[in-house]
Chains A and B, each alone.
Chain A
Amino acid sequence: MKTERLNTDILIIGGGTAGCYAALTISENSDKKVLICEKAHIKRSGCLAAGVNALNAYIVEGRTPQDYVDYAKKDADGIVREDLLLTMSQRLNKVTHRLEQLGLVILKDENGKYVARGNRNLKINGENIKPILAQAVEKAENVQVLNRVNVIDFAVKDNKINGAFAIGIENDTFYTIDAKAVIIATGGASGLYKPNNPGFSRHKMWYPPFNTGAGYAMGINAGAEMTTFEMRFIALRCKDTIAPTGTLAQGVGAKQINSLGEVYETKYGLTTSERVYGTVNENQEGRGPCYLRTEGITPQQDDSLIRAYLNMAPSQTIKWIESGKLPSQQNVEIEGTEPYIVGGHTASGYWVDTNRATTIQGLFAGGDVAGGCPQKYVTGALVEGEIAALSAVNYVDNSKQGSIEQSDIDKHINEVTGFITKKTSPYTTEQLEEAMQTVMDSYAGGIKTNYRFNEKQLDIADYKIKQLMSLVSTLYAEDFQELMYIYELKERLTVCRSVIAHLKARKETRWHSFAENLDYPNKDEKNFNKYVNSRLENGEIKIIIRDLVQGGKEYEHIN
């Protein structure tokens, strides 16, 4: 193993949507040195790898940023940060224009105006959205990118961040990185629960299987305050391929129907969680499977759908072609996915102030890793990257750089050395990962229990996850790629523990399926129209219940 020490002004962890945009913002607005550490390669890493089909967050003509805030608040039944939603919504259109300048194709009418899909979406060709962003980053001044460098921990002392530790998975290198400020942009967490297809196609999941919750875990372990992990995201997707359904539902107006052909969506309500819940319930009551009603659409619509899916979820198009039945000839079966933790869709993640500063000094967060601001999607992640970047620049101008202690470096090197010098262990990383997914599936509201759980089950889940955590130190790695897998498992276990604690703390059922607590099947407006936050203190998760931040107010951290 080689060791290397690097130094930068602002370290960006994760070169995805938010991370790339943060780098561009810093480069354009300051002369600060930027280093991006990306576990894969910024050209096609993270959520945008396969492409996306629409910009889901845009303020269309006749609407205001406040309308977007109201929509997201309603969808989350109140548990959002209005200050975060508003500051995001105010910049959605600006980042959209920037994306277009960089080369993204956006559909326009004959007058040159964007063509909207519904009230909030723009139609695009998003197949190459990530290469477009990455190319801009590669050209940006003062920005250095380290690809295939996986960050494993923050260097935090007295609640101030001084840098991070990382491993180079293709060059067997341990990195210590000194930084004046850090932006965390590692996305959300998949792979906590047993997936829809646990066999050969186990990674055919909606959220990238390579976003393993590193940012959440590092924050949790460093004692950062985190919010709303109990608001899990369960996606309603095309069966098997787990391809998005929005293109069918909003694009061609396909309704959700049960096997009797009845439209059931109106029966349960139209929020994101109610759509999942309705589908689960129809199945449970014997009216499954459920479908999106596409039969009868025109051949032109078939043709457009086939192309649209190739640009974002090609497996769905292949499935249509292999089965010999196009959507006009056969309704598309739908199912709920396993739960994910993803702050770009729901509100889980870092508890940040209006400027996207976390509770750790010098650490800023943007994108799916940041909490309180659901429905941010691609454009919202870009905005948060921008806001976090400007805040980080300001912080660097007004604070002194701390130093990473040698004892902290030694501790991390020893841990890594431990994993790579051992030659045997009772279990493999893969076995422990599967065990974790089984525990979460059975006892923490996975697919197996129709996303439902009770407190007894959560206690068992917590016990078993802690047991698995104690086994991690026995693992060994043949190479640095496997070493990364050990760290990914560790991250996931850490996030699982927090998710369980949050599910237990919200003693009500506000969102069906997302957090369906059978001991408390009703909503409790009096006690739980509040945020459930948490912080790790001396190894224990301390729950903090906070009042909602009122609309129109900014939020600053207070101790």
Chain B
Amino acid sequence: MSISINKNKCIGCGKCRNVCPGSLIKVDSDGKAYIKYPKDCWGCTSCIKECPVYAIDFFLGADIGGMGSKVHTEKKGDILSWIIQKPQGDSIKIDINQKESNKY
């Protein structure tokens, strides 16, 4: 369970670094965000939800059954969309209206 940050997309805004509950994300001298110890990630997805340019992906480690998909979120108004990109290329998008409660 961890994240990877795409340096080419990162614009160095520092928002991801702000929210990490483990203070795991730092910004490099080149102004780009990086995670020093990927093993320390809790997988809370806080950083992913902050990134304005979708530079952060979330993935499950192989030791807990991960199959290589990459996940990010996009937010428009009250809709939080989760995009799960499978390694085969196809992707799934799940929209959640944040004004609606869970059913269970």
Contacts and interface: CB of A to CB of B under 8 A. Distances in A.
Given A125-B101, A199-B63, A210-B22, 9 more contacts: A41-B21, A241-B60, A305-B104, A307-B102, A310-B82, A314-B58, A315-B43, A318-B58, A319-B60
Contacts of B66: 322
A35 interface: no
Contacts of B19: 41, 43-44
A252 B102 CA distance: 12
Contacts of B21: 40-41, 44-46, 49, 208, 210
A247 B104 CA distance: 6
A127 B43 contact: no
A410 B104 CA distance: 54
A54 B60 contact: no
B63 to A, nearest CB: 5
A240 interface: yes
Nearest to A53: B102
Residues of A in contact with B, size category: 35 or more
A7 interface: no
B23 A39 contact: yes
A318 B62 contact: no
Contacts of A44: 19-21, 44, 46
A57 to B, nearest CB: 17
B104 A200 contact: no
B46 A50 contact: yes
Nearest to A104: B101
Nearest to B95: A307
Interface in A118-159: 123-128, 148
B55 interface: no
B101 A307 contact: no
Interface in A146-196: 148, 169-170
Given A319-B65, A322-B86, A124 B102 contact: yes
B96 A311 contact: yes
A484 B44 CA distance: 21
A241 B71 CA distance: 15
Contacts of A170: 23
Nearest to A305: B104
When A and B form their complex, which 9 residue pairs have the shortest distance between CB atoms, in order from nearest? A251-B104, A107-B101, A240-B64, A44-B46, A50-B44, A204-B1, A304-B103, A201-B61, A44-B19
Interface string B76-95: 00001010101000001010
A197 B64 contact: yes
B46 to A, nearest CB: 4
Given A201-B61, A203-B41, A307-B102, A49 B1 contact: no
B18 to A, nearest CB: 5
A314 B80 CA distance: 13
Interface in B47-62: 58, 60-62
A321 interface: yes
Nearest to B84: A321
B64 A321 contact: no
A308 B23 contact: no
> What DSSP secondary structure best describes chain B's contact surface?
loop
A367 to B, nearest CB: 15
9 contacts: A50-B46, A123-B104, A201-B60, A202-B39, A203-B42, A240-B64, A304-B104, A314-B71, A315-B1
Interface of A: 39-41, 43-46, 49-50, 53-54, 105-107, 115, 117, 123-128, 148, 169-170, 197, 199-205, 208-210, 240-241, 247, 250-252, 304-308, 310-311, 314-315, 317-319, 321-323, 481, 484
B101 A105 contact: yes
A235 B10 CA distance: 37
Contacts of A127: 80, 96, 98
A423 B100 CA distance: 54
Contacts, number: 165
A204 B61 contact: yes
A243 to B, nearest CB: 10
A208 B46 CA distance: 13
A125 B96 CA distance: 10
A319 B38 CA distance: 19
A250 B92 CA distance: 28
Contact of B69 (A43, A209, A251, A322): A322
Nearest to B104: A251
A526 B93 CA distance: 59
Contacts of B71: 314, 318
Contacts of A200: 1-2, 38-39, 61-63
Contacts of B61: 197, 199-201, 204
Contacts of B63: 197, 199-201
Contacts of A205: 42
A81 B69 CA distance: 47
Nearest to B71: A318
B67 interface: yes
B18 A41 contact: yes
Contacts of A481: 23
A40 B18 CA distance: 8
B102 A204 contact: no
Contact of B60 (A41, A210, A318): A318
Nearest to B48: A314
B45 A314 contact: yes
Given A49-B46, A311-B96, A323-B65, A203 B20 contact: no
A304 B42 contact: no
Contact of B94 (A43, A310, A323): A310
A241 B61 CA distance: 10
Given A40-B20, A43-B19, A199-B63, A308 B44 contact: no
A128 B67 CA distance: 28
B65 to A, nearest CB: 5
Contacts of A209: 22, 40, 42
- Which residue of A117, A148, A203, A484 has the most chain B CB atoms within 10 A of its CB atom? A203
Contacts of B18: 41, 43
Nearest to B68: A322
Contacts of B102: 53-54, 107, 123-126, 247, 304, 307-308, 311
